[in-house]
Amino acid sequence: MANNYGFLVCILVMVLDIVAGILGIQAEIAQNKEKHMRVWIFECRYPSYHAFKVGLAAATLLALAHVIANLLGGWICVWSKEQFHSATANRKLAVAFLIFSWIVFAVAFSMLIIGALANSRSRKSNCAMLSHRFLSIGGILCFIHGLFTVPYYVSATATRKEEKRAANATRAARPT
């Protein structure tokens, strides 16, 4: 019973990703409540410290969910074509979900940090060409991150159990 904490890890990762996504979208809403001024193709607005704090919290929760899933899921890799062709379906799935979760994490984290830093107190105004929607896109990507990270954790855990079972079967089959 002590080793069956996988369900709780999956729930924890999903909750962290969902809360991070909601916070990212709320940060975008807070940012949009500030004064805006449009000049030709540039849009200027005053930074929102509330959007900065909420965006930073969303990025932190996203990073925490990613670290938890990767540390507890273990590191599942395939080093060569031969190893890939001889790998089990769970190992192939784990590698695919690991790659996708890292890609989505990198993009979502970057978007949340860019959106949060655009709202830091050190900036008096933010004038740029189409430099909005970073926080909401990062928030939406947090949901997608959860959809890739939980299957990675499940596949990685299943791969470890398969490998442990195969090692025990090999050990039991050896003559002593």
pLDDT at 145: 96
Beta-carbon contacts of residue 65 (< 8 Å; ≥ 6 apart): 12, 13, 16, 17, 20, 145, 146, 149
**pLDDT value, residue 137:** 94
Largest CA distance in the chain: 83
Q: Residue 19: how many CB atoms within 10 A of its CB? A: 16
Could you read off the pLDDT tens digit of each residue along the chain, which spans 176 residues?
A: 446 788 899 999 999 999 999 999 999 998 888 776 666 666 677 778 898 999 999 999 999 999 999 898 877 777 777 777 777 888 888 888 999 999 999 999 999 999 988 887 765 555 654 457 899 999 999 999 999 999 999 998 888 888 888 778 777 777 66
Dist. CA 172–CA 151, nearest whole Å: 31
Taking alpha carbons only, the member of 63, 61, 76 closest to residue 153 is: 76
Element (H, E) at 128: strand 126-128
CB atoms near residue 166 (< 10 Å) = 11
Q: Which residues are CB-neighbours of 6 under 8 A, at least 6 positions away?
A: 153, 154, 157
Rounded-to-integer distance, Cα 106 and Cα 4, Å: 30
Confidence (pLDDT) at 130: 43
Q: pLDDT value at position 112?
A: 95
Report the pLDDT value the prediction gives residue 129, as an integer from 0 to 100.
42
User: The tokens of 51 are what?
Assistant: 């959007």
- What confidence score (pLDDT) does residue 54 get? 95
* Residue type, position 53, single letter: K
pLDDT of residue 176: 61
